[in-house]
Amino acid sequence: MPFSGQLWYLTEGGDAETRLVRINDDGTSSTIVNDNGGGGTGDDDFISSFTADVGVDTASGFYFAIANAPAPQNDTAYLVRGVIGGGSAPVIVANFDDSLIVNTIEVDAINHRIYVGLQDGTGADGAVSGIKVYTYNPSTGAITDNGYITTANSDNRADAGGAKILDPFDFAIDYSTNQMFYTEAVDGLTSGLFRLDLASPNTAINILNNTQFPVDLSNGQMMDVAVDTTTDLVYFTTRSRSPSPNGAYDANDNALWYISENASAGSTATKVTLTGLPANVYYGGDMAFDQGTRQIYLESSEASPGAADNVIYVFQLNGAGTSASLIRTINPGLTLNGAVTEGMTFVDVAALDVAGTGASPTEQSAGTTTLLTGAPTITDGDGGYLVGATVQITSGGFNTTDDHIGFSASKIVSGTVPGTTNITISWNAATSTLTLSGYDTFANYQTALAGLVYWSTGDNPTNYGANTSRTLTWTINDGTPGILAASPNGATVNIDTTTINIAAVNDAPVNGTVSSATGNENTNIAITGLQVSDVDADPASAVVTVTLSVTKGVLTLRTNVASGLVSGDIVGNGTATVTVTATINKINLTLAASNGLVFLGDNNVSGTDTLTVVTNDGGATGSPGAQSDTDGYTITIIGLNDAPTVSGDGTETLAATNEDVANVALTNTVSGLFSGQYTDPDTDAFAGVAVVANGSSAGTGQWQYYNGSTWVNIGAASTAAAVTLAAATPLRFLPATDFNGPAPTLTVRVVDASGGALTNGAVVNTTTNGGSTAYSTGTVVLSHGVTAVNDAPTVTGGSTVSLASIGEDSAPGAGETVSSLFASHFS
């Protein structure tokens, strides 16, 4: 059965046995609120050890009790006020005249009233014998004396044996009908159960007949009274003149009775059948009623003087309220002779009943969802105020930053709740708890609770579909101490739960950024930084499809990354379009790995290409189905020079020239001689040649280039010290004097314009050639022939010759030949 309240009871019997105790209705948490210590007066909380009755207002935080003064004031009674949970001694708020007998009080926590039954001890003064009412301030506890609502002089009752009697022994109020009931028993003068309407309190009706309960108390003395608003029955207890085993003890007189609230005057009461009550020991005393569980607490006073057997029996009424079964016994723990319970009251915990909405909050909706279908039901048989309430997400929540509860469509999470008097609101995201605080009426708390709304700000309120609902625990607090946590029986009436179902909206996946996608042409370019994500798809289990495509090359994903993609996850690997179907974690692990994704451009392609990434979540979580994200990323392909090649046979011939002729024509340019052998893959212009070998010598002649003003010997050349000649530069072979025949060759590498214009005569190292250099690997050999030309003879050895002399008139001899004369002078 749900935990529904607490029993509060006062005991008396010397300092050591005088205390105010509260105990939960499930028998747990018996707690001393105040006591008079172990002896003496130095540690007394109450003004005396003679107590009479107690009433409690948990919402305001006060209790009120009647305490009678010790000697020498004996007959003086006091109304004291204590603070619930304060620990301090109660204070006197009213001092009654010494002539008055005070047996009972009733605290009306709904209307902040205290009813006190007063009887003039002499029976002569009817003006002070009656029911007095005080009001109290629920904030401070300060009381105001509002006088008597009825007296023995003003009510409709006749005097009893000449005495002015209006002497309530116990009160009970039905707040639904505004009717008060009180018991009265003055031996030989009056005995009855009286009903009066608080709207016209001077009309009192004894709904019992004095035949059944005569004024001589021979059939039992009237004790306590309680009202069951469920059945409209009034319960009262009676007891015999003496306890057991005194000879005057009569078990029949010690009983629990019931009668209709609406019974007419002089009606007959019926005894409640009590099952489990020990036989012949019950001696009727105080009574309290738990309206929530319909359990009755019956105190049994000491069975005989000097005994220590004061107990409280707890009975469960049947549905009709006509019989009850003993379910447990509370032992107040009194040990001293004569110590008894002198006042009990049951404090009902305000009960809560809520009806959750059937609407489903939509993820990231700009609006809110009202949590309840209407105002909650708050019931409390003895109260009308709360001091607080909470609504906490106790199940289903997993991200405290996404769930929100507030008031109204304005999403109020702090300040005073509109439409209420004292209620403030606060939201604790860390505990997912909305708290309402402040002493206010049930109606205002109903307004506040009915206006609470939920909204979500996260993209993944369902935890990838694992948490599609939230359980909300609603708790109201009427100030009853120590009962807000669930009791051992598993429930309390002030707690209820509702559930909301979250309507998830499928969020599109997101392609991240690429931090680097730049590299040289004709090499693998690593694409780094790219990751895919989806806020409402579990990266460890949700499968997405990613399509990667380019137009100027191919893409390749690694299939050997630990916990990454495997070949079975990929279609088209190594082509222009690659499709991956796998979990987000596997995809991202591969993309994050070194060379996890590489691009290889088409041969000799440079510039840029676009990597298009399309990620589809396949539906993931919620409506409206599959979502995708498409992004384009630029791949920068750095163009590298492609060395020129020798596309001909590698030989060229410079037209022959005659010996001893210096060709001064400028028509044989480098371009004219070598460009026919030149091809460049990336169409760079022909810049010229680099001479890597020059066979020129002094005896044969020199290869020369024209620098714009004069002819310059090319000079020595080698692969490591090649001589450059621009394309437009004229070239010739200058043979040595009288040289003819094949000229020494000139070997060159063709050069492209990737490095800019060539400088004639510059020396460069062409050891590294081909590839991305400007120099061809192949060479071109330039040949030339020098044609022989007849040279005129020349006179050598002097310019004169002499014949042998002969005498005058001598006959000449054989003479000389021309050859002998001139051959030595011929060259």
- pLDDT tens track for 164-192: 999 999 999 999 999 999 999 999 999 99
**Res 484: pLDDT:** 52
Closest CA to 52 of 342, 288, 300, 341: 342
pLDDT for 732 beyond 90:
yes
Whether the pLDDT of residue 465 is over 50: the answer is yes
Predicted confidence band of residue 75 (pLDDT cuts 50, 70, 90): low
Where do the domains of the chain lie?
5-348, 352-501, 510-638, 645-787
Rounded to 5°, angle at Cα 211 from 221 and 256: 40
Which band of pLDDT confidence, cut at 50, 70 and 90, is reported for residue 827? low
Question: Which pLDDT score is estimated for 241?
Answer: 85
| % of the chain surpassing 90 pLDDT | 74
pLDDT reported for residue 171:
97
Supply the pLDDT for residue 489: 40
**What gap in Å lies between CA 468 and CA 534, rounded to an integer?**
18
pLDDT > 70: percent of the chain: 95
pLDDT value at residue 340? 78
3 state SS of 576? coil
549 touches 612 (CB < 8 A) = yes
- Whether 487 shows a pLDDT value over 50: the answer reads no
* pLDDT at 309 (0 to 100): 64
User: Tell me, what's the pLDDT at 39?
Assistant: 62
Distance separating alpha carbons of residues 476 and 391, to the nearest angstrom: 9
For the segment(s) 510-638, the CATH number from 1.10.3470, 1.20.120, 2.60.40, 3.90.470 is 2.60.40
- Residue 40: predicted pLDDT: 59
Answer whether residue 308 shows pLDDT above 60: no
| Mean pLDDT, rounded, for 428-436 | 97
Q: What is the pLDDT of residue 620?
A: 74
Determine if the peptide bond prior to 72 is cis (ω within 30°): yes
Question: Which range is least confidently modeled, 323-337, 560-574, 790-804?
Answer: 790-804
At 1 the pLDDT is 58
Unique residue bearing structure tokens 């809110």: 368
Find the range with the poorest average confidence among 36-45, 301-310, 350-359, 780-789.
301-310
- Name the more confident of 624 and 443: 443
Token match 């007998």: residue?
Answer: 101
CA distance 83 to 214: 42
* Beta-strand runs (E) in 270-411: 270-271, 273-275, 284-290, 295-300, 311-317, 323-330, 340-348, 351-353, 369-370, 377-379, 385-395, 403-407
5-348 — its CATH code?
2.120.10.30
pLDDT at res. 622:
78
Closest C-alpha to 602, from 633, 635, 630, 558: 635
If you average pLDDT over residues 692-715, what whole number do you get?
96
Residue 802 has pLDDT above 90, yes or no: no
pLDDT value at 800 more than 90: no
Rounded to 5 degrees, what angle do the CA atoms 308, 309, 314 make?
A: 145
Reported as type and span, the H/E element at residue 821 is helix 818-822
* 3-state SS class at 10: strand
Mean pLDDT of 672-697: 96
Nearest CA to 638 out of 765, 523, 732, 740 is that of 523
Q: What is the reported pLDDT for 719?
A: 98
The answer to whether the CB of 55 falls within 8 A of the CB of 173 is no
Rounded to an integer, the average pLDDT of 217-230 is 95
The residues facing 433 across adjacent strands are 392, 428
Rg (the chain; Cα; Å): 60
> Which tens digits make up the pLDDT trace of 263-304?
999 999 999 999 999 888 889 889 999 998 899 999 997 655
What's the pLDDT at 488? 39
Predicted confidence at residue 306, as pLDDT, reads 47
For the stretch 752-780, pLDDT in tens is 999 999 999 999 999 999 999 999 999 99
88 burial (CB, 10 Å; 0-12 / 13-18 / 19+) is exposed
